[in-house]
Amino acid sequence: MTAVEPLPALVHLDSPFINFRDFDFGEGSHGYRWIDFKRFQLPPETLDDRDVLAALIAHPQFRDTYDGGGVQGWPRHGQWWLDRITPDAYETVDAGTAIDILGSWANQHGDVPEALASRLREDVYAPISKATTRYLLGQLPEDAIHDYGPIHIDYHELVLIDRPAATLSLLVAADD
C-alpha cells in the first residue's frame, strides 16, 4: 500500500466583503445582495489547477454556508454537502463569461450606483480579468443540497487562480 501525500495547504490571506446594502440605490433596490471573497496564497510547490481546487475544498475556510454564521466545522459549503463538491464540479470559464454572469446578476434590478459599479470594476472584474484561470461552480445534483439549503435565490461561485501573483480567490455572489 502506498501512502498518499497530503496536498500542500493554501494560506488564507483575507476575506473582503461587498454588501450592496452599503450603497445608495435611491429609488432602486439593493436586493439584499453581497459578494464574499476568500483570498489565499498558493503554496510554493507548483500544483496543477485540479490540485489547487482540491486544496481549496479541503481548506477550513471553505466550510461556510454564507448564511451569516461564518466559517464552521460542519460538512457544508454554500447550500451543499461538502463531500458532494469535487474539483470536477468546477467548469473553466473565460473572463468575459465570468464578468457577464456577475454583471447580469449585479444589475438584475437595474443599474447599480456608480460607487458600487466602481468597486465592482476594481475589486471583482479586474481580478477576474487578471486571473490565469477561472472556474465556475457548475450545477450539482439535487441530493447535494444539505439539510437546510438552499437559502439563496441567486448563488454564483467563482474560483480565480492568479499564477503570477500566486493567489487563489474564492468569490461568492449571492442574495439573502
Distance (Å, whole) CA 126 – CA 58: 27
Query: Domain limits at 48?
Result: 24-69+88-170
For residue 109, being part of any structural domain is answered with yes
* Omega before 164 within 30 of 0, i.e. cis: no
Burial 122-132 (b: 16+ CB within 10 A, else e): eebbebbeebe
Cα–Cα distance for residue pair 99/56, rounded to 1 Å: 22
CB atoms within 10 A of CB 113: 15
Number of domains in the chain: 1
Q: Of 168, 159, 19, 7, whose CA–CA distance to 77 is shortest?
A: 159
Residue 103 falls within a domain, yes or no?
yes
> Is 15 inside a domain boundary?
no
CATH of the domain at 132: 3.40.1000
Question: Does any domain span residue 139?
Answer: yes
> Residue 81 domain-assigned?
no
User: pLDDT 10s per residue in the chain (176 long)?
Assistant: 444 455 668 999 999 999 999 999 988 788 889 999 999 999 988 889 999 999 999 999 999 988 877 788 888 898 999 999 999 999 999 999 999 999 999 999 888 999 999 999 999 999 999 999 999 999 998 888 888 767 777 999 999 999 999 999 999 999 87
Cell 448563488 belongs to 155
CA–CA separation, 71 and 17 (whole Å):
14
Q: Does the model's pTM come out above 0.75? A: yes
Q: Is residue 77 part of a domain?
A: no
Question: At residue 68, what are phi and psi to the nearest 5 degrees?
Answer: 100, -10
